[in-house]
């Protein structure tokens, strides 16, 4: 389940400007989190009026204070196992579980790029 810290975040998440693949990926992460750990994901930030990927409607932050670090790492691995952020720049990832100075504790940062693709298994080829 995907929850929102406030109504503004809910409307931003539904906003047509938010990348639709990103919305799909965040719903997928929330479904996995619910299935594995019986916990929802909380959307904590969508658009931010600043230069950067949040300002471009290509990033969403989520959190859940009841999840353990290993569970959060597992969720990030699950998402990064499905999606490639940019096949030309493999050092970047779709889901980061990190701590950013000035933005509270550790949280999930989901991001997409115009080149973001589904990570197919070799056997699917
Ligand atoms: Zn972020």
Residue-wise pLDDT tens digits, 53-98 = 999 999 999 999 999 999 999 999 999 999 999 999 999 999 999 8
Residue ranges per structural domain of the chain: 2-118
Q: What is the mean pLDDT of residues 91-117?
A: 91
Ligand 1 centroid – CA 114 distance (Å) = 17
Q: 108 is written with which tokens?
A: 């999930």
Distance 117 CA to ligand 1 centre (A): 20
Q: How far is the CA of 58 from the centre of ligand 1 (A)?
A: 9
CATH entry, 2-118, from 3.40.50.620, 3.40.50.1820, 3.30.1380.10, 3.30.70.20: 3.30.1380.10
Distance 93 CA to ligand 1 centre (A): 12
**pLDDT at residue 29, rounded to an integer:** 98
Neighbours of 23 (CB within 10 A): 18
Give the Å distance between the CA of 51 and the centre of ligand 1. 12
Looking at every residue in the chain, the average pLDDT score rounds to 94
- CA 125 / ligand 1 centre spacing (Å): 33
Q: What is the mean pLDDT of residues 91-120?
A: 91
Residue 14 has pLDDT above 60, yes or no: yes
Q: Tell me: the pLDDT tens digits for 19-31?
A: 999 999 999 999 9
Overall residue count recorded for the chain in this entry:
125
Distance, in Å, from the CA atom of 90 to the CA atom of 84, rounded to the nearest integer, reads 7
């Amino acid at each position: 389940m995907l929850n929102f810290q406030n109504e503004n975040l809910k409307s931003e998440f539904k906003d047509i400007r938010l990348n639709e693949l990103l919305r799909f990926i965040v719903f997928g992460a929330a479904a996995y989190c619910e299935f594995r750990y019986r916990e929802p994901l909380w959307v904590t930030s969508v658009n931010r009026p600043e230069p950067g990927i949040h300002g471009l409607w290509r990033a969403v932050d989520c959190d859940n204070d009841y999840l353990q670090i290993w569970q959060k790492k597992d969720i990030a691995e699950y998402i990064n196992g499905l999606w490639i952020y940019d096949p030309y720049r493999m050092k970047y990832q779709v889901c980061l579980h990190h701590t950013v100075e000035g933005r509270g504790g550790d949280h999930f940062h989901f991001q997409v790029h115009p080149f973001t693709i589904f990570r197919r298994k070799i056997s699917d080829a």
